[in-house]
């Protein structure tokens, strides 16, 4: 049995190019009773562009819980509401989660109006595996927390994606280069759908060099996509992370010293590490 509640429409808006909006999104924004926007000024330029003169209320992360309750009241009284964020799909690293949860709990119908989303746009043009992937949102802000995060990702065999700002793209890649193998394939998608859209795909070490050398590669908005760790023939009993540490040590010192150091660092049997080192030497020699 249907109730008399209004519907909540979760509407995707462009991530740069104003033409990237669906007919249905424009129609919905025209027809709803109320538009709840992350930044009312920002959305007004979009609304103006499409000749939409509808009521807009503020809905940003600092007033999210309170605003969700008041919007819920309106939805329950029969008004329809469109939720939009500054760019792309609401809830994806954007406000909206509490409202959608509360609406569903209260029996309000939540309708997605799909459209642009930076991570999906980047993935579609990246040329990295998409059958399975994980979206990590924004990375932690401190270097140590980022390195800890990258260490966790060392063994991830599926593609993973994160959002980054111009302020932190360089330090994020520098931290990544400390932890992940230099040959890890990454894609940096910058300013998608905009005038200076740039999508580069290269090994991590080269990508970092490019971002260091090219000022433009530190400007705008970024999606970074990282190829999953390759499954390597592992010596029994050694994790991919342990093997990576051994590899790094072998790059910097002799096999003998690397094995001694790795024994101490990892607390793994010397014999096992020695076997692994020989196997690694063999596989690099064959490559
Ligand atoms: N909800 C949005 C979506 O659907 O993609 C994302 C909002 S999040 C607050 C903003 C971040 O998304 C930016 O810092 C950047 O990492 C990424 N982003 C948004 N637009 C982008 C674009 N045009 N090009 C590259 N990255 C973009």
87 lines ligand 1 (CB under 6 A): yes
Residue that terminates a domain, selected from 116, 133, 162? 116
Q: Which pLDDT tens digit goes with each residue over 215-236? A: 999 999 999 999 998 765 555 6
Tokens found for residue 186: 């990454």
What CATH number does residue 25 fall under? 3.40.1010.10
- Find out whether 117 and 218 touch, Cβ atoms under 8 Å: no
Q: How many CB atoms lie within 10 A of CB 199?
A: 17
Rounded CA separation 223/123 (Å): 9
- Give 162 Cα–ligand 1 centroid separation in angstroms: 10
Q: Is 33 in the pocket of ligand 1 (CB under 6 A)?
A: no
User: Are the C-beta atoms of residues 45 and 147 closer than 8 Å to each other?
Assistant: no
Inform me whether the pLDDT recorded for 274 exceeds 80.
yes
15 CA to centre of ligand 1 in angstroms: 7
pTM: 0.83
| Residue 188 shares a structural domain with residue 101 | no
Look at residue 34 in the predicted model and tell me its pLDDT. Answer: 97
Among 63, 88, 116, which residue terminates a domain? 116
Let me know whether 147 and 86 are in one domain. Answer: no
119, with CB counted inside 10 A (0-12, 13-18, 19+), is buried
| pLDDT greater than 70 at residue 63 | yes
- The answer to whether residue 132 sits within a structural domain is yes
Q: Is residue 23 part of a domain?
A: yes
3-state SS assignment for residue 181: coil
Atom of ligand 1 lying closest to residue 88 CA? 4
- Same structural domain for residues 160 and 183? yes
Same-domain status, 169 and 133: yes
Q: What is the residue-averaged pLDDT of the chain?
A: 93
Distance (Å) from CA 42 to ligand 1 centroid: 15
Task: Say if residue 108's pLDDT is above 70.
Answer: yes
pLDDT band at 201, cuts 50/70/90?
very high
Among 40, 72, 84, 80, CA closest to 58: 40
Range of the domain at 254: 240-284
Do 35 and 134 share a structural domain? Answer: no
Helix ranges (H only) for the chain are 23-31, 40-49, 64-76, 97-105, 118-124, 143-153, 169-179, 204-213, 240-252, 255-266, 270-286
Per-residue pLDDT at 205: 97
- Is position 67 within any domain? yes
**285, pLDDT greater than 80:** no
Number of domains in the chain: 3
Same structural domain for residues 174 and 203? yes
CA of 201 to the centre of ligand 1 (A): 19
- Domain end, chosen from 91, 116, 141, is at 116
- At 33, the pLDDT band (50, 70, 90 cuts) reads very high
Residue 235 in any domain: the answer is: no
- Mean pLDDT to the nearest integer, 178-199: 96
Give the span between the Cα atoms of 163 and 169, in whole angstroms.
9
Q: How far is the CA of 171 from the centre of ligand 1 (A)?
A: 18
232 assigned to some structural domain:
no
Is position 92 within any domain? yes
pLDDT category at 244 given cuts 50, 70, 90 is confident
Residues 11, 109 share a domain: yes
Residue 234 lies in a domain: no
122 CA closest ligand 1 atom index: 25
Q: Which atom of ligand 1 is nearest to the CA of 163?
A: 16
Give the confidence band of 210 by pLDDT, cuts at 50, 70, 90: very high
Q: How confident is the model at residue 65 (pLDDT cuts 50, 70, 90)?
A: confident
Residue 276 — very low, low, confident or very high, per pLDDT cuts 50/70/90?
confident
Residue 71 placed within a domain: yes
């Amino acid at each position: 049995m249907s109730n008399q509640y209004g519907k909540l429409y979760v509407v995707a808006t462009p991530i740069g190019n104003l033409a990237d909006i669906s007919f249905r999104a424009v129609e919905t924004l025209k027809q709803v009773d109320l538009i709840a926007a992350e930044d009312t000024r920002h959305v007004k330029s979009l609304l103006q562009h499409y000749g939409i003169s509808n009521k807009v209320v503020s809905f940003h992360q600092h007033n999210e819980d309170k605003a969700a309750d008041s919007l819920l009241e309106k939805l329950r009284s029969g008004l329809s509401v469109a939720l939009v964020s500054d760019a792309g799909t609401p809830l994806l690293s954007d406000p909206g989660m509490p409202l959608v949860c509360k609406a569903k709990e209260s029996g309000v119908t939540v309708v997605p109006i799909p459209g642009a989303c930076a991570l999906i746009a980047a993935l579609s043009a990246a040329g990295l595996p998409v059958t399975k992937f994980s979206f990590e949102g924004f990375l932690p802000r401190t270097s140590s927390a980022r390195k800890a995060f990258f260490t966790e990702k060392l063994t991830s065999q599926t593609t993973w994606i994160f959002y980054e700002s111009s302020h932190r793209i360089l330090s994020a890649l520098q931290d990544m280069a400390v932890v992940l193998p230099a040959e890890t394939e990454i894609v940096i998608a910058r300013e998608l759908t905009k005038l200076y859209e740039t999508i580069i795909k290269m090994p991590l070490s080269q990508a970092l060099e490019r971002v260091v050398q090219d000022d433009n590669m530190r400007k705008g908005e970024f999606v970074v996509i990282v190829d999953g760790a390759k499954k390597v023939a592992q010596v029994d009993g050694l994790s991919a992370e342990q093997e990576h540490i051994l590899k790094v040590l072998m790059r910097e010192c002799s096999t003998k010293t690397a094995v001694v150091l790795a024994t101490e660092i990892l607390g793994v049997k010397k014999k096992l590490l020695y076997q692994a080192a020989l196997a690694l030497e063999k596989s690099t020699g064959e490559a």
